[in-house]
Amino acid sequence: SHLLLTEPAPLAASQDDSTNDGSLRTLLTLCDLLNRELLVLIGWAKQIPGFSALSLVDQMSLLQSGWMEALLVGVAWRSQASAGEELVFARNLQLDEAQCRAAGLADLYEALRHLTSRYQAMNLSPEEVVTLKAMALANSDAEPVDCPDSVQRFQDGLHEALQEYESSRREQHRAGRLLMSLPLLRQTADRAVQAFLRLHRHRRVPLHKLLLEMLDAKA
Amino acid sequence: KEKHKILHQLLQNST
């Protein structure tokens, strides 16, 4: 219930109007949205029970390692409801396959649709989504870790919450199924990071400083 | 750490 309460309201995209090139405009709008989502994500992380007890170094490591996974849980969750096969980055930024392809994000589209249909098939509850998001951050396999015991305690707290929630619903296999979906999330996030790095390096799409800093940490 | 100064600053802000 704490995670449900601290879940930030979805952001709206602010349309970039610095260029007439439609697909570049889409990219710039998307990158601006991502940058603002990152800011919100960092504020959100501090509110997860146990996160602020970690050393500053470990907080940084977990975020640098797990930010894309945590953000993509949100995108995949929002995209489930989309009737057409769009990716719902925001209510006012929904991209279909053709738009993603035109923007050079065909690979990201495919990866995210795959994740979305996996979540759809699992019929996740809001409680499961917020827990999955927090676990993605806690389980990000950041290296090096300053205090492994504290990170372990942070993970254990979330795992315990998930198990308690599922046993209250008498769902014996759900916690395990959720954990078994984490590898696909990791894979999807890796592909997303590569896609944005490509945009920046090969197509010289300008990125905001925070987004660039977080992508660089993964490069 | 110098490389990640924005994240560092954001985490240090108390709010």
- pLDDT tens per residue, range A91-118: 999 999 999 999 999 999 999 999 999 9
- B2 inside 8 A of chain A by CB: no
Strands A93-95 and A87-90: antiparallel
Can you say how many angstroms the Cα of residue A25 is from the centroid of all Cα atoms in its chain?
22
User: Considering just the CA atoms, what is the radius of gyration of chain B in Å?
Assistant: 7
Residues of B within 8 A of A210 (CB-CB) are 6-7, 10
Distance from CA of B13 to the nearest CA of A (A): 9
pLDDT digits (tens, 9 = 90+) for A152-208: 999 999 999 999 999 999 999 999 999 999 999 999 999 999 999 999 998 888 999
- Judge: B7–A46 Cβ closer than 8 Å, yes or no: no
Percent of chain A clearing pLDDT 70 (strictly above): 100
- Judge: B10–A59 Cβ closer than 8 Å, yes or no: no
Judging by beta carbons within 10 Å of its beta carbon (0-12, 13-18, 19+), is residue A66 exposed, middle or buried?
Answer: buried
DSSP chain A: -HHHHHPPPPPPP----S-S-HHHHHHHHHHHHHHHHHHHHHHHHTTSTTTTTS-HHHHHHHHHHHHHHHHHHHHHHHHTT-SSS-EEEETTEEE-HHHHHHTT-HHHHHHHHHHHHHHHHHT--HHHHHHHHHHHHHTS--SS-S-HHHHHHHHHHHHHHHHHHHHHTT-TTHHHHHHHTHHHHHHHHHHHHHHHHHHHHHS-----HHHHHHHHHH-
Distance from CA of A65 to the nearest CA of B (A): 12
Task: Please say if the pLDDT value at position A125 is more than 70.
Answer: yes
> Nearest by CB to B4, which of A43, A46, A64?
A64
Q: Which residues contact A16 (CB under 8 A, 6 or more apart)?
A: A25, A28, A29, A32
CA torsion A30-A14-B13-A63 (nearest 10°) is -20
- Judge: B7–A56 Cβ closer than 8 Å, yes or no: no
* Mean pLDDT of all residues belonging to chain A: 95
Please give the pLDDT value at position A203. Answer: 84
- What's the CA gap between A103 and A22, in Å, rounded? 9
Distance between terminal CA atoms of chain A?
35
Tell the residue number behind the tokens 């098939």, with chain if given: A121
